[in-house]
Amino acid sequence: MAEQKKILRALAGETLSTPPIWMMRQAGRYLPEYRATRAQAGDFLSLCYNPELAAEVTLQPIRRYGFDAAILFADILLVPQALGADLWFVTGEGPRLSTITQQADFDKLKPVSDIHEVLNPVYETVRILSRELPSETTLIGFAGAPWTVATYMIAGRGTPDQGPAHALKDENRPLFEAVLERITEATIDYLSMQIEAGAECVKLFDSWAGSLKGEDFTKYALEPAKRIIAALKARHPGIPIIAFPREAGDGYIGFAKATGADCVALDNSVTPEWAAANVQVDGCVQGNLASSHMVTGGQALVDETRHIVEAFSKGPHIFNLGHGITPDADPENVQLMIDTVRENRT
């Protein structure tokens, strides 16, 4: 059955007449059923660590829309928490973490071998999903890429320009690289455990890759991705891996070949025509409708969806947004997008 799953076929390099479709953050606050389940859990982290409820919110958009893939409901900051960082969420403002600004902070982190005690509920969520998802639906696991996770661990929160991480990189390169090394090792083990639990594909989210320039992009976005992908494929031959170096611009060119990724996910700062000519030539691409269309809807959504499908129609393509769907999105617009992607399906 796995060979028949559309997303796995696209990841293997097959050009399909109708692209498979899923959506970043498809389980989330724009859905009333998600909000109800989160209220039942009590708070966001309690939801992440409750396997039954995390599986439920992962399944909700599959039941509602019939996406071709379900992505595990979790958060990229569970890894730093498992490494010993304090993590909490401030309502309306987002995550907060204890910071790493000096060697003493780093020395408090746990060894990678200890992370699974915290993360075991996530693996149980994957096991539940691998049993309960429809047979045609691909189960995607994920983690944050080392640079992006490091930006939160160093600053203690999301920042507009990742300034604190850049400052540590420039002022104390050995400490900065030690942080990335610990995250890289943890990410390999974390994703490997997701695969063992039943994930059929994994995705590496480097949400802040675009703030790395030149040699820094190569060293701290591309090289860690290459290392993680190589390690996972050595442990799990044939596992497909999607890489998302968001806002990489020209850094998207050659990223798949350089890292071994089976698919490169694209943000909407690049046009599909440019990406087809420069990125899809190396294999599968994923993307890249602006998430704002999920709010505004209408003919513009239909036109841009058709435009993207057509632009990528000559090679392997997974339809998705250029970034995660936002809480103010209209669920009806999601259905319109799906119907438009699938309008010519035979």
Query: How far is 186 from 178, CA to CA, in rounded Å?
Result: 12
Active-site option among 9, 30, 68, 75: 75
**86 tagged catalytic:** no
- In the annotation, is 345 catalytic? no
CA distances, 204 to each of 56, 147, 310, 340 (Å): 23, 11, 26, 28
- For 242, phi then psi, to 5°, come to -100, 130
> Measured in Å, how far apart are the chain's first and last C-alpha atoms?
20
Distance (Å, whole) CA 5 – CA 69: 9
Task: Reply yes or no on whether 29 is catalytic.
Answer: yes
* Catalytic residue from among 35, 38, 235, 306: 38
Q: What one-character-per-residue DSSP string does 14-43 give?
A: PPPSS--B--TT-SSTTSHHHHHHHHHHSS
Catalytic residue among 25, 182, 227, 246: 25
List the beta bridge partners of residue 320.
288
Distance CA 335, CA 242 (A): 24
Task: Respond yes or no: is residue 306 known to be catalytic.
Answer: no
The DSSP secondary-structure symbol of 220 reads I
Using CB atoms within 10 A of its CB, is residue 173 exposed (0-12), middle (13-18) or buried (19+)?
A: exposed
Is 75 annotated as catalytic?
yes
**Set 29, 157, 306, 342: catalytic member:** 29
Alpha helices in the chain (DSSP H): 6-11, 32-41, 44-48, 51-65, 78-82, 103-107, 116-132, 146-155, 163-171, 173-197, 215-217, 223-235, 255-259, 272-278, 293-296, 298-311, 331-341
Among 152, 190, 220, 252, the active-site one is: 152
What residues act catalytically?
Answer: 25, 29, 38, 75, 152
